[in-house]
Chains A and B, each alone.
Chain A
Amino acid sequence: MASSGWELAVNESGVLKGHEGAVLAVRFNGDGNYCLTCGKDRTLRLWNPHRGIHIKTYKSHAREVRDVHVTTDNAKLVSCGGDRQLFYWDVSSGRVIRKFRGHDSEVNSVKFNEYNAVVVSAGYDRSVRAFDCRSQSTEPIQIIDTFQDSVMSVHLTKTEIIAGCVDGTVRTFDIRMGRELVDQLGHPVNCISLSNDANCVLASCLDSTLRLLDRSTGELLQEYKGHKCKSYKMDCCLTNTDAHVVSGSEDGFIYFWDLVDASIVSSFRAHSSVVTSVSYHPKDVCMLTSSVDGTIKVWRK
């Protein structure tokens, strides 16, 4: 099925080494020139994955770092993790500008909004919280606590907050409409990812299934199976062309599915251990994967 002409980032082109212990997340920045990783060693690292250069290390977290996001202007970072706080960093100086408190327990995911003015975080405390970057206050400006279980992943569009929760729901909070849309998937949602056109949401469920939902109708468009995802927090994403679905697997494999017919286009062993995170370049055929084995790998066509 790989004959369909799609270019897939299946060839390893580089390994980024530096993290001690598991790497929990890897994220491209907005234009795909840099990437950020975070992990068990309580550090954030900034890399140039294309040249394989480690640029900077950000140390301040007291516990593991689970997620990181960078502003569109690459000036600020926000990271979260086990210490129940969000760290708001200055990229160039490497200093923590502010720490946002409010979560009662570990924070799983964090994102900036479009204008880099708000940080939205999802935590194990069954809540999604929004913090204002522009004010001095470290208290949340909005708490969404309709979740019934740990919120694993959060995504933002221009007008919505989308969060996947272990209670088996993907919830969309439409700020413009003042509505909450709850899509019950019936299975704990591990990670959500938006398609590049933002019309679909890909939800990785703990029944080893990825589910693609139409966001406007809530309709299940496709299910992708074959990988193993039962207990670890793992990322999934769509490729830059939205033609394929990518996910890691607990056995260290990477799986590519055809978006439409859900067939496995490619699968290969990428890491020796659980693939915790995948991040696809916004434009090019380039992918980053991170693993518990402490490595980050760069994949190209």
Chain B
Amino acid sequence: MHQFGPDPWICGLVRIQPQKIRNPFRVTKLYPKPVSSKRTNGQLTKQRSFLFFFPVVSSLPSSISPIFALVASAPICTVSSPLSMADVDEEDYVYFGTPIEREEEISSRKRKAIAEPGTLRSLPPWKQEVTDEEGRRRFHGAFTGGYSAGYYNTVGSKEGWTPQTFTSSRKNRAEVKKQNIYSFLDEDDLKDIGGNTLETSMQYDTFGFTAAEFARKKAEEEQKKRPSAIPGPAPDEIVLPASSSIGMRLLMKMGWRQGHSIKDSNAESLSEIRREARKAFMALSSNKAEPDISEKDADGTDEFPDMSIDVLRNSENTPVYVLNPKQDMYGLGYDPFKHAPEFRDSKRLRESKSRETKRSKVHMGSLLSSNSKKYAPGFGIGALEELDAEDEDIYASGFDYEQTEVELEPSKAVSSSSGDRMLQLEHKKRGSLLGFKLASDSDYKLERFYPPAIPSNFRPIHKFGAPLDQTLKNYNSVPPPDAPPPENTNLRLLIEGSAAMVARCGKSIEDLYMEKSKTNPLFLFLKSGAEGYDYYVRKLWENKQKFVDNLKPAEKLTAENRGRILGERPLASTTSRVNDVSVKAREVINTQSSHGDTVTKPISLADLPDSAIKQFKHDPAKQERFELFLKEKYQGGLRASGTRSSTSTSTMSEADRARERLDFEAAAEAIEKGKQTIQISAPSTDHTKDLLGFGEDRFVSSTLIENSETKLEETNVVYPKREQFEWRPSPILCKRFDLIDPYMGKPPPVPRPRSKMDSLIFLPEIFKSSNKEDAKSPIGNSLEASKSGLKEAEAEPSASEADVAPTSPKNVERPVDLYKAIFSDDSDDDEADAGPALNQALNPVKSSEGANKTLNRLVAGDFLESLGKELGLEVPPGSIPGPSLNANTVSLPEEQKSCKGGDDRDNTPFPKVKETKSKDYGSTVDSSREKKRSHSKHHRRRSRTPDLDPDSGSDSDSHRRHRSRSKKRHDRRDRSRSRDSESSDEAYMNRKERRKKHHSRHHEHKKKDYGDKYSDKKRRS
């Protein structure tokens, strides 16, 4: 019997019931078990064996089978072949593996568990025990808190199956987690393993094994080609111990041999194999070997059992795994026949048919005849399979062959692929889908819109009937004669107002007025020839002119114009134009029709009186520069702003140049103004008049004006007057208003030293602005009130002393005290706060006319010169042309900045800070005192508001308030920007002087007035 000696590894037989291995492909699990020694037939053989489970799962998807076919295809080279089952006696079986446990043994626990419920059922619920089918306590209820399966009723471990977050930081590096086989075993598994370690075995690695086997075979083939000393197949096989996978070994034992496809004599399995083969054939229908097979296959079934073996022998290996090459144009994974698998087959058939056409010619005839047109020729199925009713059909899903038969007419079938194309072409030609017909008549008609017919006389250029420009030009070109305003002020105002309206709103308003004039005699002036008509026409023209001027930049908006409108500073071409900015700004701001500013009327210098031009006689060099300046300014009527800087000589400092330029500007402006100029430029007492007048206009009170009777011709300041200053909104304010901060990113304003010279130097500007206002304002003479106020102011000097005397008895002092006032110590300031001493220190300046005069004299004389020398500045020794007050406000943004800057004066780099300061203080105190007066008035006005309490209006109360107020103001005054403090000190003092007188006088008046009111009110209440 055992000739070779029973090697327990190889010579054992597995006793397996045939039923179970009927389908060897259905191996689902191989479960290794260490097998303990077994006694069979009294022999004790220690064997290591395996227990195989072959659960039969008949309904497994067929796709698995190719894989196992591959497994089976691996050749096994063992020496076990000599053993044959027939030889072995039943008694001599050697058993491999653990015998399957008897049912009773296995399920002892289980039975117990099953049985127990029966017994437990009698128990109360809380004593019942829940067990799993293995009989283990697996209950983990919320209340028992006891047993749990796995990790809290999940998988076996804390980490198992729970999603993990990967965190790794620089400090806390995440460790690389190594998984091993143990991490996948639960405790039961580990218990089963015992002390043994788990290893991987090639035996079960079917694919790896196959690969190795393949490599070996390759080598063997090479060996064959090579001449070798030992003939025959590879000697390696003899030498090397061959190992084969367990599945293969099993197959071998079942009679399978290498290179054969697995085949059973059973017809069922045969058909299954055939099906596989057929599928493979379908895919690899181009294979040359197949026709033979199909031929043979198609011959008949009578010799089937033998045939099958033959066939299988012939086919070396079953074509195993077929990759379906992608041949269509669909996207990956897209299955157009997903929901209609029938069509897939038909499609495939059509394709394969076209491929088969050649081949099928061979046996087409027979097929066609034999199948009696049941199947279309060239069907892949027909090639492999004959008609067999009992054979299970892959097309059994209900595909109707009749349909395809219709499609594939024999005539067409000859070139069906071209026929397909033909069909498509036909569809295209018809423009309709298959199965659809084109309608003979359609409702849809393409509607066409034809362009309108262009009239023959149409010209593609539009002409405006009355061009706007021309009307405007008319206004420009033909100015109506200047008419004197009518005597009647009301009429004049009315005319002006309506002219403005008409100019603004157009002719329609005029018509409206015309209508009105029928009923209202006031509007009679609209009729030509009536009183005021000329004036109206003139005014209308002026207004329109203005309107046009305003329009112009919009029409031609160059960058420069725009910049000017926006108040941008033009790019300085040379650095010498330091103050050009301010000049520009003033030009923009001050003149109402500033847009026409670039074009100025050419002034021939010759026409001007000599005195006008020779304003700087005392300084020939300067005079020369001035004339040059004039020439450049009016060069060809167009102001050559770029060349202006050339006037300055290199010897002058920047500041000097700037100042001089301002002087020149002012003088030139004055020249333009004609006769007024002469007065202004004359450095005489007229200055004071102007200054006084100006000082007046700022503080005119309505009552003053109403009461005044006299008139002042020259220095009337016209209201309303517009000035413009820089103002810095806080960023947060801009944010809250949802606006962009205009000063965003810009540094805070640079504090500028407020030297005395600054204020003096910029005096000339003032005239310009105020004079311009005079000339330009359409309601020039309208405000008699203001005029009268000013006039009164002028008339005052004589009366002032009498007026002032009672209020400030100590104020008559020597004019020399001016110096003291200007250069007084800080201690004076303190005194100012202190009270009584204040008057003493300041009164001389503020109230005495003598001081005023002295000041003027000094201004004219050498005082400034000496002061200028002291300050290190060049001062014109003679006249200071036309001082006035508002220039600095207008022309000096930087100046303002410096004022805004607060206490920056202390930081001034200039040497004479102290003087300036002290003097400022002097004037400030002065002004505050002055303010006090004006405020007392306003306060009364305020307290006269209806909320007036009888006691709050009392004089004592208000006095007290004013005192504190004046103090407060005094402090604030230094910090805050105020036009007054910027303006020239002299002028300021003059003004104060005036103011004081005014108020002292009207104080009385008002008091009385209010007194009446009070009593009135009291009576009423």
Q: How far is the CA of A187 from the CA of B785 in the complex (A)?
A: 10
- The answer on a CB contact under 8 Å between B500 and A183 is no
- The answer on a CB contact under 8 Å between B702 and A207 is yes
- The answer on a CB contact under 8 Å between A185 and B742 is no
- The answer on a CB contact under 8 Å between B727 and A114 is no
- In the assembled complex, the CB of B802 is this many whole angstroms from the nearest CB of chain A, namely 27
- B343 in contact (CB, < 8 A): no
- The answer on a CB contact under 8 Å between A232 and B720 is no
Q: How far is the CA of A82 from the CA of B949 in the complex (A)?
A: 12
- In the assembled complex, the CB of B489 is this many whole angstroms from the nearest CB of chain A, namely 11
- In the assembled complex, the CB of A211 is this many whole angstroms from the nearest CB of chain B, namely 7
- In the assembled complex, which residues on chain A have CB atoms less than 8 Å from the CB atom of B814? none
- In the assembled complex, which residues on chain A have CB atoms less than 8 Å from the CB atom of B940? 231
Interface residues on A, range: 35 or more
- The answer on a CB contact under 8 Å between B1010 and A231 is yes
CB contact between A182 and one of B498, B725, B945 (< 8 Å): that residue: B725
Contacts A115-B736, A118-B733, A220-B779 known; A186 to B934 CB distance under 8 Å? no
Contacts A220-B719, A221-B500 known; A179 to B1013 CB distance under 8 Å? no
Q: Which residues between 110 and 157 of chain A lie within 8 Å of chain B, taking CB atoms? A: 113-115, 117-118, 124, 126, 130, 132, 134, 141-142, 144-146, 148-150
- The answer on a CB contact under 8 Å between B722 and A175 is no
- The answer on a CB contact under 8 Å between B736 and A132 is yes
- Binary flags per residue of A89-123, CB closer than 8 Å to B gives 1, else 0: 00000000000000010100000011101100000
Contacts A66-B947, A148-B978, A231-B941 known; A178 to B722 CB distance under 8 Å? no
- In the assembled complex, which residues on chain A have CB atoms less than 8 Å from the CB atom of B717? 186
- In the assembled complex, the CB of B13 is this many whole angstroms from the nearest CB of chain A, namely 95
- The answer on a CB contact under 8 Å between B725 and A175 is no
- In the assembled complex, the CB of A82 is this many whole angstroms from the nearest CB of chain B, namely 7
Q: How far is the CA of A175 from the CA of B701 in the complex (A)?
A: 30
Contacts A146-B978, A166-B938 known; A181 to B944 CB distance under 8 Å? no
Q: How far is the CA of A285 from the CA of B738 in the complex (A)?
A: 33
- A11 in contact (CB, < 8 A): no
- In the assembled complex, which residues on chain A have CB atoms less than 8 Å from the CB atom of B706? 207
A-B contact count (CB 8 A): 191
- A12 in contact (CB, < 8 A): no
- A15 in contact (CB, < 8 A): no
- A244 in contact (CB, < 8 A): no
- The answer on a CB contact under 8 Å between B729 and A173 is yes
- B739 in contact (CB, < 8 A): yes
- In the assembled complex, the CB of B100 is this many whole angstroms from the nearest CB of chain A, namely 86
- The answer on a CB contact under 8 Å between A179 and B947 is no
- The answer on a CB contact under 8 Å between B742 and A220 is no
Q: How far is the CA of A167 from the CA of B706 in the complex (A)?
A: 17
- In the assembled complex, which residues on chain B have CB atoms less than 8 Å from the CB atom of A273? 946, 1020
- Binary flags per residue of B514-548, CB closer than 8 Å to A gives 1, else 0: 00100010100000000000000000000000000
- In the assembled complex, the CB of A236 is this many whole angstroms from the nearest CB of chain B, namely 15
- In the assembled complex, the CB of B590 is this many whole angstroms from the nearest CB of chain A, namely 11
CB closest chain-A residue, reference B927: A148
CB closest chain-A residue, reference B1010: A231
- The answer on a CB contact under 8 Å between A180 and B737 is no
CB closest chain-A residue, reference B977: A146
Q: Name, among B717, B730, B737, B740, the residue most crowded by chain A CB atoms within 10 Å (CB to CB).
A: B737
CB contact between A179 and one of B703, B727, B969 (< 8 Å): that residue: B727
- In the assembled complex, which residues on chain A have CB atoms less than 8 Å from the CB atom of B935? 149
Q: How far is the CA of A137 from the CA of B349 in the complex (A)?
A: 87
Q: Which residues between 261 and 275 of chain A lie within 8 Å of chain B, taking CB atoms? A: 261-263, 273-274
- The answer on a CB contact under 8 Å between B567 and A40 is no
Contacts A207-B706, A220-B779 known; A232 to B944 CB distance under 8 Å? yes
Q: How far is the CA of A174 from the CA of B740 in the complex (A)?
A: 12
- In the assembled complex, the CB of A116 is this many whole angstroms from the nearest CB of chain B, namely 10
CB contact between B494 and one of A159, A166, A261, A292 (< 8 Å): that residue: A261
CB contact between B728 and one of A170, A178, A184 (< 8 Å): that residue: A178
- The answer on a CB contact under 8 Å between A82 and B1020 is no
Q: How far is the CA of A175 from the CA of B972 in the complex (A)?
A: 24
- In the assembled complex, which residues on chain B have CB atoms less than 8 Å from the CB atom of A177? 567, 742
- In the assembled complex, which residues on chain A have CB atoms less than 8 Å from the CB atom of B740? 176
- The answer on a CB contact under 8 Å between B721 and A183 is yes
Q: How far is the CA of A230 from the CA of B935 in the complex (A)?
A: 16
- Binary flags per residue of B106-118, CB closer than 8 Å to A gives 1, else 0: 0000000000000
Which residues of chain B have a CB within 8 Å of any CB of chain A?
A: 493-494, 497-498, 500-501, 509, 516, 520, 522, 567, 592, 697-698, 700-703, 705-706, 717, 719-730, 732-734, 736-740, 742-743, 778-779, 783, 785-786, 931, 934-935, 938, 940-942, 944-947, 968-969, 972, 976-978, 1010, 1013, 1020
7 contacts across the A-B interface (CB closer than 8 A): A146-B977, A178-B743, A186-B785, A188-B701, A218-B721, A219-B500, A261-B522
